[in-house]
Structure 1
Amino acid sequence: MIQLYLPIPHYNEIKYEVLFMYEECEIETFPIDCFEIARRLYYHLVPYSCLPDHALRLAMQYSPDGFSTIYHNPNTGMYEWYIFYNDYNCFQRQRWTIFHEIGHIYLGHFEDDFMTYEEKESEANFFAKYSIAPPPLINITDCKSPSDIADNFYVSGEASVYIFTSFQKWKNYGPLEYEPFEIKMLEQFHVA
């Protein structure tokens, strides 16, 4: 799969959205709990293992990792978000998938018809990466390698390499001082 790079303002908007999500959900500890975030946002999590055989086959055909959808609840008249995720995958992969799907919902991808599928996927992947292990928190934990990131933020080996590479770029080419929203994030986690 080819990685689509987004314009810098898109990345910054997503970083702010992640911070807003932490604040809205009162997240103050890490590793960051995607299950708790989904619960606090009133998103329903449905593991593939709870699906009947026919529905499981359809879900696996649709996505081997997970997907999200909205349902109208006739009893309440409200619309409710459901995130289906493959709990046969390793736990770290499940977390990435759930954050990815939260990203689609939180960033309004289901309402925006002006973005391509690839743009939405790139945004959701960046949202997942930044939600699971934001560079300011990686920096404060003094992670020196992908394995440090995997241990501190509970991500897979593959994700830890991806995150570490991004962290190195942030550290080497980013601003010398924390950005205002990064300071706010560190304060949110009581490490500023």
Structure 2
Amino acid sequence: MAIKLSNQRYEEIKRIVVRMFVEYGVSCVPINGFEIAHKMGVKVVPYSAIAASKRWLLIKKSEDGFSLEKDYGQWYIYYNDEKDYGRVNHTMMHEIGHIVLDHSEDSELAEKEVGFFAKYALAPPVLIHKLKLDNPESIAQTFEISYEAACYAYSYYQKWLRFGGRDYTAYECQLLRLFDLAS
């Protein structure tokens, strides 16, 4: 049986994303995972920086990327720089999610949480709404995410609209103010 997050946990993750944006001064689209990682003090390492003879070990661990903590609390994100920018940026946000949500081990639950974290952080529905984006193509272009990620974002945006999206929550209002879209 697949793990499902509770509505309460989804809401908590959304608030965590907005707090992260406030803390690190994220206030424009596209949302850049590299910029956030830098502001967090996370060391970012492309796979190509590792000797070719050892690179296969990275790819064996993950085709896209992974994070690990070493050196007494110093976080590192390793990412496959042969992937396109949209995929790499998603990987960055995914790994930032592991760090911010304080995941200490791999699990189906952790992956579910960071999958949602990355989706919400890269293209929040309230920003899609305020920017009047009405299809996956415009979402992909505006947020510089892959078309596949944009389809998921658009689907989530449609769900957000159906279930009261225009009644903004406190964190959505905060997000709109941060991005100077509150009016």
Say whether 1:31 aligns with 2:30.
yes
Q: 1:102 aligns with which of 96, 105, 112?
A: 96
Tell which deviates more after alignment, 98-107 or 116-125: 116-125
2:126–2:165 CA contact under 8 A, matched in 1: no
- Structure 1 ranges of 4+ moved more than 2 A: 2-5
Secondary structure of the structure 2 residue equivalent to 1:127: helix
Runs of 5+ unmatched residues, structure 1: 73-77
Q: How many positions carry a matched residue from both structures?
A: 182
Secondary structure of the structure 2 residue equivalent to 1:46: strand
TM-score, normalised to structure 2's length?
0.95
* Separation (CA, whole Å) in 2 of partners of 1:81 and 1:42: 8
Q: 1:87 aligns with which of 73, 81, 91?
A: 81
TM-score, normalised to structure 1's length?
0.91
User: Partner of 2:119 in structure 1?
Assistant: 129
* Separation (CA, whole Å) in 2 of partners of 1:121 and 1:100: 9
Identity rate of aligned residues, in percent?
A: 38
1:137-156 matches, cutoff 5 A: 137-156=127-146
1:3–1:122 CA contact under 8 A, matched in 2: no
User: Partner of 2:21 in structure 1?
Assistant: 22
Shift of 1:29: 0.9
1:67–1:84 CA contact under 8 A, matched in 2: yes
* Separation (CA, whole Å) in 2 of partners of 1:3 and 1:89: 28
Runs of 5+ unmatched residues, structure 2: none
Shift of 1:55: 2.6
User: Partner of 1:157 in structure 2?
Assistant: 147
Q: Give the residue type in structure 2 aligned to 1:99.
A: M
